Amino acid sequence: MDSLTKAIKLFASGKPIFIYDSHSREDEVDMVYHASFITYKEIYLLRTVAGGLICYVMPFEVGRELGLKFMDEILSAIGLRDLATKRLGYGDKPAFSLWVNYLGVKTGISDVDRALTINKLYEVTSLIYNGYVSEGRKKFYEGFMSPGHVPILMSRGISSRKGHTELSDALSRLANLTPATVITEVLDEGTSMTLGKVKELAERLDTVLVDGNDILDAYLRNIHRESPY
């Protein structure tokens, strides 16, 4: 069984997957779960094992049905274009949209609170992705506040951007799951964790490290439901 086939199988069973983007981009690894499997225990692992920013990924088409915009669009519209148009070395537009809390949380930052916010975001995403747009919008606008402690990333589509946001979205689609993931950069002391150390970490967690190019190649060989940005 090749690493991608194994990754898809493990991902669909609720295991975390490690995704490497590429040497020519961030040159980083993210720890990735499908959003449907998130409990406070997965949040604890993400923050203690990976250590980066814990983000919720939804498809672009779902975000647009909710009326969401990318944060660079929001900042540009309020006169902060000089900040919003700058780019880091790898050149991509950022995937960030709003940061939210579910109204049922206490402060929003605990493992339990962030898991609850993500669970409710997944309910919204599932409704809209499966055609229940008005129900999803109602649940979102009645149940959430912003700013909060869970950043929403919107996938711009793998044809437009090839970051961990889009790669994790593509992995969901390859696994025939609702495209919704939770991703976190894997950090070490002072810097990002090396590929060698991530491979050892993946082995300890009985999972795999997959190259983003393998996800990209498999995705482009198949026809999947996607509305690129």
Three-point CA angle 92, 82, 77, nearest 5° = 90
Q: Tell me if residue 55 is catalytic.
A: yes
pLDDT band, very low/low/confident/very high, at 224 (cuts 50, 70, 90)? low
Catalytic residue among 40, 44, 90, 132: 90
Tokens of 201: 């970490």
Catalytic residue among 55, 122, 129, 226: 55
Q: Does the pLDDT value for residue 44 go beyond 50?
A: yes
pLDDT, greater one: 158 or 142: 142
Q: Which of 66, 4, 56 is nearest to 35 (CA)?
A: 56
pLDDT band, very low/low/confident/very high, at 142 (cuts 50, 70, 90)? very high
Q: Does the pLDDT value for residue 1 go beyond 90?
A: no
Beta strands in the chain (DSSP E): 17-20, 29-34, 55-59, 96-102, 144-155, 181-185, 209-211
Query: What's the rounded Cα separation, in Å, for the pair 173 and 225?
Result: 8
Q: Tell me if residue 101 is catalytic.
A: yes
Q: Tell me if residue 164 is catalytic.
A: no
pTM check: above 0.85: yes
Domain annotation for the chain: domains and CATH numbers: 3-220 (3.90.870.10)
Best mean pLDDT range from 86-95, 191-200, 212-221 = 191-200
Catalytic residue among 26, 185, 226, 229: 185
Share of the chain above pLDDT 70, in %: 94
Q: Tell me if residue 30 is catalytic.
A: yes
